[in-house]
Amino acid sequence: MTTGQKHLIKCRCVLSQFKRMEIPPAHQFVVFSIIGDDDKVQVKFAQCNNCGILHKVTDICKSDIMARDVMTSLVTIDDIKPSIPEGLRVLLENNHADLATWEAVQYLFTSQTWGGFVVISSDTEDGIKQGKYVRVMGENLFRVEGFTRNEVVSG
């Protein structure tokens, strides 16, 4: 059975607020990948949300930077919207969900993974992460739930 996974891809670009640092951190962006029955990630192409460079996603958290700078065949949020029920579409729009989140929700519908969930937002403060996710219960049934967890391990 295939599964889906949101994960980070590292780009070579740097966010503008870090450019003056001596050793600025590389930018990372979230992508959604499908993992096949053979536990291999289906190769896909993704565009950095900061600099626009194209990446060939080859595994979880791994990509190769592409030589070309335009690819008109990339799926967009507008491409996904018609395949998602209206109430859920409004929820994702109101939470300013990124492309990876839209793709993950679409995957739950197309694979009919009822009961599956996707994190739609989270914030971290003082070592505590709070967020919310949407659990897709059926074709036209979903539920928003919250979570809180400690991000700092104390010992």
Residue from 124, 12, 121 nearest 64 by CA: 12
- pTM to 2 decimal places: 0.88
90-99 as b/e: b if 16+ CB within 10 A: ebbeeeebbb
CB atoms inside a 10 Å sphere around CB 136 = 24
Residue boundaries of the structural domains of the chain: 1-73, 75-155
Q: For 71-130, how does the pLDDT look when each residue is reduced to its tens digit (9 = 90+)?
A: 899 999 999 999 999 999 999 999 999 999 999 999 999 999 999 999 999 999 988 999
- CA-based R_g, the chain, Å: 17
d(CA 103, CA 105): 5
